Amino acid sequence: MITHPKILVLGGGMGGVEAAINLSQRLKGKAQIDLISNREFLYIYPASIWLTVGHRTVEDLSLPIPPLAEIHGFNFLQEEVQEVNSSQQYVITNRQKREYDYLVIALGGSKLKPKGIEHTRTVCRSPQDGIDIQEKFFQLVERGHGTIACGFSGNPKDSTAVRGGPMFEVTFNFDTYLRQKGLRDRFELIFFTPSPKPGKRLGEKGLAQIAKLFEKRNIRTMTGRKITEFTAEGVVFEDGTEIQSDLTVFTPGMAGHPLLKNSDLPLTEAGFVPVSDTAQVKDLENCYAIGDCSFFEGPAWRARQGHLAELMARTAAENIERQVNEQFPRASFREDMHILCVMDLGDEAVFVYRDDEKAIAPQGAWARWAKLAWERYYKLNKEKKMPRLM
Ligand SMILES: Cc1cc2nc3c(=O)[nH]c(=O)nc-3n(C[C@H](O)[C@H](O)[C@H](O)COP(=O)(O)OP(=O)(O)OC[C@H]3O[C@@H](n4cnc5c(N)ncnc54)[C@H](O)[C@@H]3O)c2cc1C
């Protein structure tokens, strides 16, 4: 039995912070828990869609990690991870070599770089990227007219490596904002994606609902067309058609974290770390990978979500506790897995739930209130001012 084991959590996002908190709750005083991340705050991506229309600031969306570390009793180290060596159980950062007994990798993913990507803006990276969209959007609002194109694509090497949801939200938020300012008829909004059925994870009913929403809000869709490149003028498709846009917001397909190539970890073709239902990395019993950086076999509807990253984090924490207590790690995230998210439309929202048995997507102003309430709850819960509800 290892006395006072060293547990390293890599990445201070939704998965990593939940792992550090849950590990602290389970093993406080019995283990050293260090969270290493390059940002000193957790960025609340699900609410970052509101940055684009000026309804949030970067501060609103940032949860500083040092106070969380103090409240929950883990150590926070602001360092850049550069290499993981799982056979010798150490990690190299920009500061030093750090050894571990248990490792939780929660470094998130990266994005593919299609031709001309520099001509697009994204909500899926840093807070500054969200600010860039906001600035350009407000310039267009000031000018009083324009064309805005929003889209996403996937990764042909991994059907789960796609993030379309936020692009729906950003598009509908632009639409609502422009309507509220009485400018909508002077703007063209276009939604584009190579996927022939964008939003298929919502189920057949949800798909029809999205199509109806686009129609009702007069948002032109260009779906099922492969993108050749992005240019300063807009988007060029393989079939020769083009979109001329003043602002192109785009989320490319996802891929694994590039630094994981500097590791001896097993990786899928798309660069993700393959894990079993216990969140343990294939063939490595003291090494866990959770959230966007991981890959597991599962139902076709599964999606890379903050909600799942947190579920995997709690599974990893429970299994590490079991290992520390010399028990078999048998907690699994599989049974509790489902899609749960609220797709904001700017003035109402769609509440999306999906599991093996059902797919529902009711819509209404109440769902928007649920998302706003979740944002508050999320911060309060992490600050230990409110118990966990889900
Ligand atoms: C715009 C947007 C909206 C979304 N909306 C929803 C939603 O409504 N509901 C939902 O459930 N999910 C949503 N998601 C998905 C959700 O945010 C992700 O699935 C979740 O953040 C994944 O958590 P993670 O911990 O795996 O990765 P991340 O949250 O990306 O965290 C990774 C962390 O690792 C750190 N890091 C990266 N590289 C290094 C390094 N080399 N060294 C040290 N630290 C490093 C990063 O700074 C970051 O803090 C949304 C995502 C986006 C982008």
Pick the atom of ligand 1 nearest to 17's CA: 25
DSSP character at residue 46: G
Q: How far is CA 313 from the centre of its chain?
A: 14
Say what percent of the chain tops pLDDT 90: 88
pLDDT digits (tens, 9 = 90+) for 120-152: 999 988 999 999 999 999 999 999 999 999 999
Q: Which residue's C-alpha comes closest to atom 18 of ligand 1?
A: 306
The DSSP-derived string for 134-145 is HHHHHHHHHHT-
* Residue 22 clears pLDDT 80, i.e. is over it: yes
Q: How confident is the model at residue 389 (pLDDT cuts 50, 70, 90)?
A: confident
Choice between 336 and 107, residue whose per-residue pLDDT is larger: 107
Pick the atom of ligand 1 nearest to 93's CA: 42
- One-letter amino acid of 232: A
For β-strands 220-223 and 234-237, DSSP reports them as: unpaired
Give me the pLDDT at residue 197, please.
82
Q: Which residue's C-alpha comes closest to atom 7 of ligand 1?
A: 46
Q: How many of the other CB atoms lie within 10 Å of CB of 67?
A: 12
- One-letter amino acid of 239: D
pLDDT digits (tens, 9 = 90+) for 338-361: 988 899 999 999 998 999 898 888
Q: Is the dihedral of CA 314, 281, 166, 129 positive or negative?
A: positive
Give me the pLDDT at residue 198, please.
82
Report the distance separating Cα 152 and Cα 163, nearest Å.
7
Give me the pLDDT at residue 27, please.
96
Pick the atom of ligand 1 nearest to 81's CA: 42
* Residue 161 clears pLDDT 90, i.e. is over it: yes
Q: How confident is the model at residue 208 (pLDDT cuts 50, 70, 90)?
A: confident
For 150, how many CA atoms within 13 A lie in the half-sphere containing its CB?
26
Residues 6+ apart with CB under 8 A from 6: 31, 32, 34, 99, 100, 101, 102
The DSSP-derived string for 270-331 is TSPEEB-TTSBBTT-TTEEE-GGGEE----TT----HHHHHHHHHHHHHHHHHHHTT-----
Q: What average pLDDT does range 241-251 have in this prediction?
A: 97
Give me the pLDDT at residue 270, please.
97
Centre of ligand 1 to C-alpha 16, Å, is 9
Report the distance separating Cα 384 and Cα 382, nearest Å.
5
* Residue 40 clears pLDDT 90, i.e. is over it: yes
Q: What average pLDDT does range 182-187 have in this prediction?
A: 98
Pick the atom of ligand 1 nearest to 18's CA: 25
Give me the pLDDT at residue 56, please.
97
pLDDT digits (tens, 9 = 90+) for 263-296: 999 999 999 999 999 999 999 999 999 999 999 9
List the one residue out of 295, 263, 290 whose CA is nearest residue 279: 290
Computed over every residue of the chain, the mean pLDDT equals: 95
The DSSP-derived string for 136-195 is HHHHHHHHT-EEEEEEE--BTTBTT----HHHHHHHHHHHHHHHHTT-GGGEEEEEEES-
pLDDT digits (tens, 9 = 90+) for 364-377: 999 999 999 999 99
Domains by residue range for the chain, with CATH = 6-109+256-336 (3.50.50.60), 112-253 (3.50.50.60)
Residue 38 beta carbon below 6 angstroms from any ligand 1 atom: yes
Centre of ligand 1 to C-alpha 63, Å, is 13
pLDDT digits (tens, 9 = 90+) for 59-95: 999 999 999 999 999 999 999 999 999 999 999 999 9
Residue 162 beta carbon below 6 angstroms from any ligand 1 atom: no
